[in-house]
Amino acid sequence: MWAAWLGWDQQYDVQPDGTMTGPYETWQVIGLVLTLLVAVYWAASRRYFVGAVLGTTAGLTVAAFYDWSDDDSGLFAVGVGLVMMGSFAATAVVSAVAAAVTDHRQRPPAAHYRPS
Tens digits of per-residue pLDDT, 66-82?
A: 988 888 888 899 999 99
In angstroms, rounded to a whole number, what is the distance separating the alpha carbons of residues 6 and 22?
A: 11
- Sites in the chain below the pLDDT cut of 50: none
Domain coordinates of the chain in residue numbers?
38-104
Around Cβ 37, how many Cβ atoms within 10 Å? Answer: 15
pLDDT of residue 115: 61
State whether residue 92 is helix, strand or coil. helix
